[in-house]
Amino acid sequence: MKTYGQEIKTLRKKAKSWLAILTYYCAQGQISLDVTSQRLRSLYKPIFRPELLQGVISSTLSQVTSQKETPALKKRLMSRRASKRIESRTTEYLEILDRKTLGKAKQANCTLGRLLASWTVLTDQAPKDFIVRVYPSIGRLHEKWQKRTSCRGFSDDDCLSHPQEFAEFMSGFYRILIQETPEEKLKHVITEGISALGSIIETRGLDKTLYGLCGQANDLMTADAVEKIDSALKANPSAGGSLTTPEFQALVLREETKLGWSENTDDKAIEILQESFSSELEEAAIAKDEIIRNSLESISRRSLWSNLQDALNKQLRPRFIESIIHFLKYIVRVESSWEFDTSNLIEKNARSVQKWLFRR
């Protein structure tokens, strides 16, 4: 039986296969957003089981509450607030706003002062003392923001118009909050948040709700991935040719069958490879299917994502050829037949041969 961690690891591998297959069809110019999104959703559906989510929550809690994790907690949290990450999320937020209106209701403004107050409540710290400690550092960050953008505040338009500067400001802002908060307080916030999430997961029917929300997220993720892959292929025309070779096509067909996205068997993939490697198989009078099948199995032991990298580097076909040569040595056999001239065989010699054959 797989552990919760192993199931999540398996999901990551399958998600990489999904991305590799998506890249192949983008290179082919044959992409269906609906089908691709449904495939992604089918991968994530199994993880919405309440028992699996609860297992992940319990495992995470045990790690966070471990005494060994406490000294490194603050350092790890700060490293995850890199400006590049924040800039990427800001850009994605802008793209989502372009694709879909996220509600027309007028929302309340969120100021830095409110963020600071909320942080002190979450971390159970005295507001006045905390604000006095962090004010000088945040003030310097704000001055830098003003000089670089000429913006006094942080409206959506200001932030989305200056994503790099905004990312650098928020990265510094988060780091200051974390740095000035005791590790035990940070640990308490995280454990309380994870525990609250565990309580929510126990809600009846939550798995169906999550699956429905996941569908909307999958549509956005698929469209975003296609857009970025298409852009990359246009910038690198040779990459598209490297991904539409018979070798990679055969691997894609096999992976689709393996993931349950196709009713095809390996026969189609083997047929494609036999045609592609017909010259290499000329000396194999027999067992051509067996040679190709074994080579396909051998190459497929690596993930489809890794094989995609080899295809881009033009290393996939040489690996197939090397595998085919390897199996040729062991599968192709020479059949020999022995013929004797019985006219010169006397009865005495025949008895001697029989005696030798049936000796004890």
CB neighbour list of residue 78: distance below 8 Å, 6 or more residues apart: 174, 175, 178, 179
Cα 324 off chain centre by: 30
Rounded CA-CA distance 181/124 in Å is: 10
Instruction: Give yes or no for a contact between 299 and 307, defined as CB atoms under 8 angstroms apart.
Output: yes
100 Ramachandran zone, left/alpha/beta (phi>0; psi -120 to 50) = beta
| Domain residue ranges of the chain, discontinuous segments joined by + | 1-64+203-234, 73-187, 245-331
User: Which residues 6+ apart lie within 8 Å of 80 measured at CB?
Assistant: none
Contact residues for 69 (Cβ-Cβ < 8 A; gap 6+): 63
**Burial of 336 per CB tally in 10 Å (0-12, 13-18, 19+):** exposed
Specify whether the CB–CB gap between 265 and 271 falls below 8 A.
no
Shortest CA distance to 131 belongs to which of 95, 176, 82, 78?
Answer: 176
Residue 123: name the closest of 194, 193, 59, 197 by CA. Answer: 193
* Tens of each residue's pLDDT in the chain, 360 residues: 667 678 888 889 999 999 999 999 999 998 899 999 999 988 887 777 777 777 777 777 777 777 666 667 788 888 888 888 888 877 776 666 655 544 444 455 667 888 899 999 989 999 889 999 999 999 999 999 999 999 888 887 888 788 889 889 989 999 999 999 998 888 888 888 888 877 777 777 777 777 777 778 888 889 989 999 999 999 998 999 999 999 999 999 999 999 999 887 788 999 999 999 888 777 655 677 888 999 999 999 999 999 999 999 999 999 999 998 888 777 655 444 444 444 444 455 555 545 554 444
pLDDT for res 335: 44
Q: Is the pTM of this model over 0.95?
A: no
**What is residue 261's predicted lDDT score, i.e. its pLDDT?**
92
